């Protein structure tokens, strides 16, 4: 029942997290587009009001005319919309999801049983430290170098180095899936912290000054804009890190830290293309195709590098499916079973590619999610040899080629254990 309730919590939190993330990323993308697409106002009245840019757009059957004031409008409206709950709700739901999915089961997801570097409490503390320490270092870089001449370039270079160091460290401390997710959560935490500690407080100060009739210091707008731009470049790397948890062949690669860095770099380069493309359409920037080309080339090179070895053909079944035997009027053969002695001796006495060895590994790592006694994820069960045989191709693909299983912690299987599955399948996947 506890597992069932955790699954429900995971589902509902994931649903909420995705919805709010869509709203946050969508509004972020829209305002970056808006800033890059504004043109100087034509109307003299708008110029007198202090409007620095305007945009005409059509959407959903209506025409829209947003304008931007250089520092502040001459008079605040009665109703002012603030964009911050999208960010806060995304982070809160994401942290709750991280807690339910990873921190709650740290011994499964944050500790590699094949090479345990930390205890579960230490792994939890290290995971939380990644979120906090990265933000402190990133914020310190922005404070020290952000307002200097060529500060944006210096900050960009230092943050790139910081992200790379964090990716390498995470991939050496945690199982691959958890490492990728934590790096994504680390960046997302800094994004939301930018909103909480800099963007919204700066906007509140501006509003308070306007209401009190005090002059508005433009530094608040400059700082908020700087952090907002950082957020837009973090977006695609964060989304990749979150999605990558479904692809074990990415995060379980021996050089998974390099895979993570390359994919995040490609995402940031592609995002740069879209940011600059808006200005190019107005003649402000040269065509930014080079950024898109670099991002795509990195993706292609990474895909070629990670290409798995050719897949052998599925073995010819050595036993007839139970259903077929019944249709032919035959009594189904009893499924092959591993003797008590074989189970007791385990993989040590059975040959590496034997069914006995594979079965013992599955009893330890697979049946917890794939048996009639559990929820049987995707309705895949390994209770009998017939069921194992019928899923032989899937087992080979998921365990050997994609290295995706065990789900949540592919590092729980050693290379020797994966090689046992490989030998078993390629020798015919016999179960008798």
Q: Residues 121-143: what's their mean pLDDT?
A: 96
Averaged pLDDT, 261-265: 97
Instruction: Decide: 318 and 432 in contact? Cβ < 8 Å.
Output: yes
Distance of alpha carbon 104 from its chain centroid, rounded?
19
Residue 109 has pLDDT above 80, yes or no: yes
pTM of the model: 0.76
Residue 327: what pLDDT? 36
Distance CA 359, CA 355 (A): 6
Alpha-helical (H) ranges within 195-333 are 200-212, 219-243, 248-251, 256-281, 289-305, 322-327
Chain centroid to CA 284: how far? 34
As a whole number of angstroms, the distance between CA 333 and CA 331 comes to 6
pLDDT digits (tens, 9 = 90+) for 34-76: 988 899 999 999 998 889 999 999 999 899 999 998 777 888 8
* Closest by Cα among 410, 381, 411 to 394: 381
Secondary element (H or E) of residue 59: strand 57-59
Is the confidence at residue 342, as pLDDT, over 60?
no
For residues 102 and 390, the model is more confident at: 102
Direct distance between the N- and C-terminal alpha carbons of the chain, in angstroms, rounded to an integer: 35
Task: Give Cα separations from 371 to 374, 382, 384, 387 (angstroms).
Answer: 5, 6, 9, 10
The answer to whether the beta carbons of residues 39 and 283 sit under 8 Å apart is no
Q: What is the pLDDT of residues 360-411, one digit of tens each?
A: 888 878 877 787 776 656 667 777 887 777 778 778 877 886 677 777 667 6
State pLDDT tens for residues 133-182.
Answer: 999 999 999 999 988 888 889 999 999 999 999 999 999 999 888 999 99
Pull the structure tokens for residue 403. Answer: 């290295």
Per-residue pLDDT tens digits for 276-311: 887 776 667 788 899 999 999 999 999 999 887 665
Res. 227: pLDDT tops 90: yes
Q: Each residue of 20-44: pLDDT tens digit? A: 999 999 999 999 899 888 999 999 9
Give the CA distances from residue 210 to residues 10, 74, 120, 151, 225, in Å, rounded to whole numbers and listed in that order.
44, 9, 51, 29, 19
The secondary structure of 120-162 as a DSSP string is HHHHHHHHHHHHHHHHHHHHHHHHHHTTSTTHHHHHHHHHHHH
Give CA–CA dist 55/10, Å, rounded. Answer: 41
**pLDDT > 70: what percent of the chain?**
85
């Amino acid at each position: 029942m506890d597992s069932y309730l955790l699954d429900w919590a995971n589902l509902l939190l994931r649903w909420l997290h995705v919805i709010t993330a869509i709203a946050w990323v969508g509004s972020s993308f829209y305002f970056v587009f808006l800033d890059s697409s504004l043109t100087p106002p034509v109307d003299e009245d708008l110029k007198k009001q202090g409007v620095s840019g305007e945009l005409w757009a059509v959407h959903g059957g209506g025409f829209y005319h947003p304008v931007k004031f250089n520092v502040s409008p001459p008079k605040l409206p009665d109703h002012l919309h603030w964009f911050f709950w999208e960010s806060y709700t995304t982070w809160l739901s994401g942290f709750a999801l991280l807690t339910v999915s990873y921190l709650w089961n740290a011994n499964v997801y944050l500790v590699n049983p094949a090479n345990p570097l930390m205890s579960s409490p230490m792994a939890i503390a290290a995971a939380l430290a990644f979120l906090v320490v990265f933000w402190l270092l990133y914020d310190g870089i922005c404070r020290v170098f952000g307002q200097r001449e060529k500060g944006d370039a210096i900050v960009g270079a230092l943050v790139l180095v910081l992200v790379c160091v964090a990716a390498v460290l995470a991939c050496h401390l945690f199982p691959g899936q958890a490492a990728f997710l934590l790096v994504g959560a680390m960046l997302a935490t800094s994004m939301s912290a930018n909103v909480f500690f800099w963007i919204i407080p700066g906007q509140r100060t501006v509003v308070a000054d306007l209401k009190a009739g005090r002059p508005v210091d433009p530094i608040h707008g400059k700082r908020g804009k700087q952090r907002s731009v950082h957020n837009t470049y973090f977006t695609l790397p964060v989304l990749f890190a979150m999605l990558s948890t479904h692809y074990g062949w990415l995060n379980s690669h021996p050089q998974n830290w390099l895979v993570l860095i390359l994919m995040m770099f490609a995402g940031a380069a592609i995002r740069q293309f879209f940011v600059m493309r808006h200005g190019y359409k107005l003649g402000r920037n040269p065509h930014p195709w080079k950024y898109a080309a670099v991002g795509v080339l990195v993706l292609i090179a990474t895909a070629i590098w990670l290409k798995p070895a050719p897949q052998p053909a599925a073995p010819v079944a050595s036993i007839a499916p139970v259903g077929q035997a019944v249709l032919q009027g035959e009594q189904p053969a009893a499924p092959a079973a591993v003797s008590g002695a074989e189970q007791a001796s385990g993989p040590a006495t059975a040959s590496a590619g034997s069914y006995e060895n594979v079965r013992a590994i599955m009893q330890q790592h697979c049946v917890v999610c794939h048996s009639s006694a559990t929820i049987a994820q995707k309705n895949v069960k390994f209770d009998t040899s017939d069921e194992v045989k019928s899923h032989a191709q899937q087992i080979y693909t998921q365990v050997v080629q994609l290295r995706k299983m065990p789900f949540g912690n592919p590092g729980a299987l050693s290379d020797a254990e994966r090689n046992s599955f490989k030998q078993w399948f390629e020798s015919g996947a016999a179960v008798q």
